[in-house]
Amino acid sequence: MCTAFNRMDLQGKIVVVTGASSGLGHSFSHALINKGSIVYGLARRAEKLRELETDLGPTFRGIECDVSNENEVSSAFKKILSESAQIDVLINNAGLGRFGKLEEMSLEDWDAQMNTNLRGVFLCTKAVLEPMKEQNRQNQFGGHIINISSVAGLVGNALVSVYNATKFGLKGFSEALMKEVREDGIRVSCLYPGSIDTEFFADSGADISANPMTPADITSTLLHVLEAPDNYLISEIVMRPLRPRG
């Protein structure tokens, strides 16, 4: 006998997207609004968030927040929970990379990448775990946490040491958390994309590949992961450009 399981329906779901002001986070927010979700977009650039609110309408709610700042994260999630009383999906997407020889990396370069790519994930994830566990106790569906790592979370490369450390760290964090909370009905998925055409490369000190993926490519994969049937979770996905040299 074949049991049919429901797919996660994104209509009306409360989704938090970090790094919503550009690139992947911007694209994720558009797609989720089109699916009928209510999206809280976190980022530091208030003017970009206001533009998104104008473009996407009242179901997109921008909150100015530096994800590495404990107080700002705490007040952002307090606001979300006071308005919506639940959080169905958290997408830990905010991140940056600075590439170069290790002896040329400053402590500030290390801190900026560690603080956003890992400390930010830690703070935002801690903020949603108890609400998601309570949702699981009430209705069986706990929630879904998606972490955006990178192919740089799987493969080390010259000039990428600090960024590699953050994204490998995120791999370990995701795998461990997935095993810790799946009995609570909470899915944890980690995505590992290669080069994508976004603002990421503007400040990174690296060149983008000749034939990168687009934010829309990663967004369609994100929707596939989110909309998986209820009885399983997709824990990891790797995406790479085809013919990266063009």
Residue 185 C-beta: closest distance to ligand NAP, Å = 26
> Which of the ranges 32-40, 78-86, 88-96, 175-183 carries the binding residues for ligand NAP, by CB under 6 A?
88-96
Min separation Cβ 98 and ligand NAP, Å: 11
Stretch binding ligand NAP (CB under 6 A), from 4-12, 14-22, 52-60, 225-233: 14-22
Distance (Å, whole) CA 89 – CA 109: 30
Q: Could you say which DSSP state residue 183 is in?
A: G
| Edge-to-edge strands, sheet with 89-92 | 60-64, 38-43, 14-18, 89-92, 143-148, 186-193, 236-239
Which has the closest alpha carbon to 132: 204, 169, 81?
Answer: 81
For position 62 contacting ligand NAP by CB under 6 A, the verdict is no
In whole angstroms, the minimum distance from the beta carbon of 186 to ligand NAP comes to 21
What's the closest the beta carbon of residue 210 comes to ligand NAP, in angstroms? Answer: 13
| Closest by CA position to 38, among listed 62, 14, 57, 21 | 14
Identity of the residue numbered 191: L
Annotated active-site residue 40? The verdict is: no
Rg (CA), the chain: 17
Residue tagged active-site, from 40, 163, 192, 232 = 163
Residue 165 lies near ligand NAP (rule: CB under 6 A)? no
Per CB under 6 A, the segment of 29-37, 43-51, 80-88, 177-185 that binds ligand NAP is 43-51
Per-residue contact track with ligand NAP, 107 to 146, x per CB under 6 A? ---------x---x--------------------------
Question: Residue 171 class from Cβ within 10 Å (0-12 exposed, 13-18 middle, 19+ buried)?
Answer: middle
**Integer Cα distance of 189 and 149 in angstroms:** 10
Quick check: 29 binds ligand NAP (CB under 6 A)? no
Helices (H), the chain: 23-34, 46-56, 70-84, 107-114, 120-139, 161-181, 215-226
Give min distance, CB of 120 to ligand NAP, in A.
6
- Active site residues per annotation: 163
Footprint of ligand NAP (CB under 6 A): 18-19, 21-25, 42-45, 48, 66-68, 93-97, 116, 120, 148, 150, 193, 195-196, 198-200
